[in-house]
Every structure is written in C-alpha cells, then in structure tokens.
Structure 1
Amino acid sequence: MVSNILIEPKGKPEGYEAQLATLGLQWKHFERTIRMSEQARRSGKTKDDAKNAPGSQDYFTRVRELRRALRTDLMWHPYDPLQAPLIVNPDKTIGIGVLLGDARTGLPGIPHPRSKRPAGVTKEQAVARNQDLTLPFEEPEFDLPDGSQSDDDEYAQMVTWYLLTYRYTARQTGVVTVRSELSLPDRVGHGGKIDSFQRRILLPPVEFEPVRDYAVETTGDIVVSVEER
C-alpha cells in the first residue's frame, strides 16, 4: 500500500482536521476556496451574461483558488492532464481536482455521492490509477534512463483526490449551503459517473446569505441553482 492512501481508522473516526493533516492539508485551504467561488458566482453575472455564467465562474474560481492556496502555502504545483486541472504535491504522489457531486455529497454512510456529470476519459484514467496504486507496489523490470521519463511517467505514482461540492438553497430561508468532502474515487459507474470512493473526508458545511438573482429549479425540500457546474 503506498503511503499517500489513507487507511480507514478503526473505532471512532478521526476528525476532518486530523485526516487532512495526514495529507499535509488544512481546512482553511478548502474553506477559502468555497467562499471565493461563491463570491464569484454572485458577483460575476450581469443582464448581458449567459445564464450559466454564475456556474462557470464558480467552477473556474474553485480551480484557481484551490491551486493558488496550495501553491503559495505548501509549494504544490499545477498540473493539467488533457485540460483536467489538478494541483499536485511536491512528491507527485497526491493530486487534487474539483468536482461537483450530488445531494449525498458531504453526508456520511451509503450510498456514496455521485459526480454530477460523466467523468470523461482523463478522470476515468485517474480512477483506474487510484485502483492500481492500492495494490502492493512492484518495481518495474526495466528502469528508464535518467532524464528519459515522459511527463506522464513523472506522475505514475500519483493518486487523485477530488474536492466534491454540492450547493443548495433552503426553500423557506433562502440560505445557501455548500456541502463538501475531499474524497478518493475508486469506481466509475453507470452513465460514466464516479459513484464510489475508497476514502472520504467529510468537511464542514459552509453557509451564505440568501441570493435570488439567477434562475432556480425546485427539487424536494431544496432549491438548486440550474447553473451549478
């Protein structure tokens, strides 16, 4: 088992701070990312923007702010395999991307959350590598000469985690809540959506004041923004 895979603790689960610390991370990095992306969602739309502009701004800001935080605080570096942006630790053993989940995001137990949209080829490859790296590692029969590794080879021992987020608006109060988790996917299921995770670090929900300046659709007891990306 490679060292960048967290083992499920026995007995009482560890708090999210301790679990993040195992990866060399802190909650502040993710909280700021979520708050900044919500701010971008709210401030980035005018009457001339496309209807999906808030969701797009939310996504781009999540990517940028998470990468900026880990790059400046921890010397991680950006990595963009086939336009699927990640931020990677100096050892190239842990990569983190952003991903939208469904209503199970941030909630304990089974079923696990599903990605809102199909994973795509690059994410499917990352999930397959996550599966491979949980097996006992075997040295290759032949080592490549120094300096001959490709860019992909440099990241061969990297597992890929995702910051999953789910945003909803309470029907009665209008308060916006973003639930999130940092999770390690291990399966792409029906419809090409990620639907199983080897490890889930559930993060605190973040609440925001009501906002009603873009179209919404009603689902059960919550109102969900249709621009969610």
Structure 2
Amino acid sequence: MLLSKIHSEPDEIQAALAALGLTSDPIWNAIKGGLLARDSCTENDPPFFPGIFQWGRTVRILREETAPLGWSRSDEGNFCTAVEPEGKFAIAVASGCENTGCKPPASPTTRRRKGPSTADAVNTNAQLSLFPEPAPAISASKSDRATWILLFYRDREEVRAELSLPDSIGDDGHIDGWRERIILGALPLDGNIIPVAPDFGPDPIIDVRRRA
C-alpha cells in the first residue's frame, strides 16, 4: 500500500492548496456556513435534518466561494461536487470520524457509509494514481476526474477539517484510505464564528395593479 502524502505545516498546506488553485478561505467559509446552518436547527426539526442541512449548506457555500475562480457545480448521479475550471478534479463534502484533521499515525474514515457514486469516484482515484501524468488532452469527463473530499469533524471544543484524496473504500462503505491529505487544522468553537453573508437572491420587483 502506498503511503499517504501529508501536508500539515502552514507552508505545506498553502503550497498544496495553491497547486489546486485554492486558498484556505473558501474552504473555511464553507465549513463555518455549515456549522451555522446546523446550529440554527431546533428540537422541532426532524432528528436527521441538522446533519443534512450542515452538509448541504457546506456544499452550497463551497460552490459559491469557488465560482468566482471559474469553478462549476456537478450533481451527476446525485453526487454533488464543485469542479475546478479544467474539469480535472472536483471536491465533494463529507463528515468524518474523530481522526479527521489529525496528524499521522491517526487516519480518518468517513463517518457514514457512502453510496455507489462515491465508491465509483474513489475507484477512479485509485485508477488515476496508477497513471499520475496528465493526459495530453484536457477532458471534463467524470470518468477521468479525480475527486477530493472536504472532510470535517466537530466535537464540543472545535471543528477539524482536511481536504484529502481518497483511494480506498472498505466493504462497509466507509472511505478508509487516502493518497494525499491536506490537514487544514482546527477552528475553536468559542462563539466567535463570523456568519457568511447569506445570499437571498435578487430583490423581486412586484407590480401591484388595481383590479378593474
């Protein structure tokens, strides 16, 4: 088994993200937005809703934050990702176990089992790792697109995150192997999370006319 390439020091993290055309700001803004969405839920929401709401809002803000950089969205097969401009790789979002964002020897897994679309993406990553040189022609086809996972984990004191490239998924449906990990660190949960500006869309123009 190939050892994971780990980026955990500040300069390593910055360089690894830059290689993907990113900085840490869009990623942490997405994570913060997901946290705020989850924290807006109450006991009157269905028990499964807070997790779904957090995931969905994280995906949405990640897409909004990367759109000015030329990224696009893909929902092919209900597998929701943000896709970099040339279509060579994409980012999906998932919750992870308590090892998320921790340095080796700790290695994370996804918190919940994943479906066929995620398994296909991981298997594609494993195949691409055998042929690391880029193809001569740029293609946006999902069949030759690497998929990174923005993995997050929250406990009582902090939220930890990493942007990692999976290459193995177990028989139980949990991603359990990583070709590369960009360990983004931790955000203390001290009540000082700054809300990301909400997007309410354009102001509607309502034409009110007296009925004849």
Same fold (TM over 0.5): yes
Alpha-carbon distance, 1:34 to partner: 1.1
Alpha-carbon distance, 1:164 to partner: 0.3
Determine the structure 1 residue equivalent to 2:152.
Answer: 165
Q: Distance in 1 between matches of 2:33 and 2:173?
A: 29
Find the residue that maps to 1:187 and give its secondary structure.
strand
Determine the structure 1 residue equivalent to 2:196.
Answer: none
RMSD: 2.7
Determine the structure 2 residue equivalent to 1:58.
Answer: 54
Determine the structure 2 residue equivalent to 1:105.
Answer: 100
Question: What are the within-5 Å matches in structure 2 for residues 71-220 of structure 1?
Answer: 71-72=67-68, 74-136=69-131, 154-169=141-156, 176-209=157-190
Alpha-carbon distance, 1:131 to partner: 1.0
> Of 32, 35, 52, which residue of structure 2 is paired with 1:38?
35
CA 1:47 to 1:132, structure 2 compared with 1: closer, same or farther past 3 Å?
closer
CA 1:190 to 1:13, structure 2 compared with 1: closer, same or farther past 3 Å?
farther
CA 1:49 to 1:187, structure 2 compared with 1: closer, same or farther past 3 Å?
same
- Asked if the contact 2:6/2:183 (under 8 Å) is kept, the reply is no
Alpha-carbon distance, 1:177 to partner: 0.9
Alpha-carbon distance, 1:122 to partner: 0.5
1:49 partnered with 2:25: no
1:26 partnered with 2:13: no
CA 1:8 to 1:209, structure 2 compared with 1: closer, same or farther past 3 Å?
closer
CA 1:138 to 1:88, structure 2 compared with 1: closer, same or farther past 3 Å?
closer
Question: What are the within-5 Å matches in structure 2 for residues 6-21 of structure 1?
Answer: 8=5, 14-21=11-18
Partner amino acid, structure 2, of 1:62: T
CA 1:192 to 1:39, structure 2 compared with 1: closer, same or farther past 3 Å?
same
Q: Distance in 2 between matches of 1:96 and 1:189?
A: 20
Task: Give TM-score scaled by structure 2 length.
Answer: 0.79
Alpha-carbon distance, 1:92 to partner: 0.6
Find the residue that maps to 1:115 and give its secondary structure.
coil
Determine the structure 2 residue equivalent to 1:214.
Answer: none
Is there any run of 5+ residues in structure 1 with no aligned partner, and where?
1-6, 140-148, 170-175, 211-229
**Count of residues in correspondence between the two structures:** 185
CA 1:9 to 1:105, structure 2 compared with 1: closer, same or farther past 3 Å?
closer
Structure 1 runs (4+) greater than 6 angstroms displaced: none
Determine the structure 2 residue equivalent to 1:219.
Answer: none
Task: Give TM-score scaled by structure 1 length.
Answer: 0.73
Determine the structure 2 residue equivalent to 1:222.
Answer: none
Alpha-carbon distance, 1:50 to partner: 1.4
- Asked if the contact 1:92/1:157 (under 8 Å) is kept, the reply is no
Q: Distance in 2 between matches of 1:9 and 1:118?
A: 24
Determine the structure 2 residue equivalent to 1:217.
Answer: none
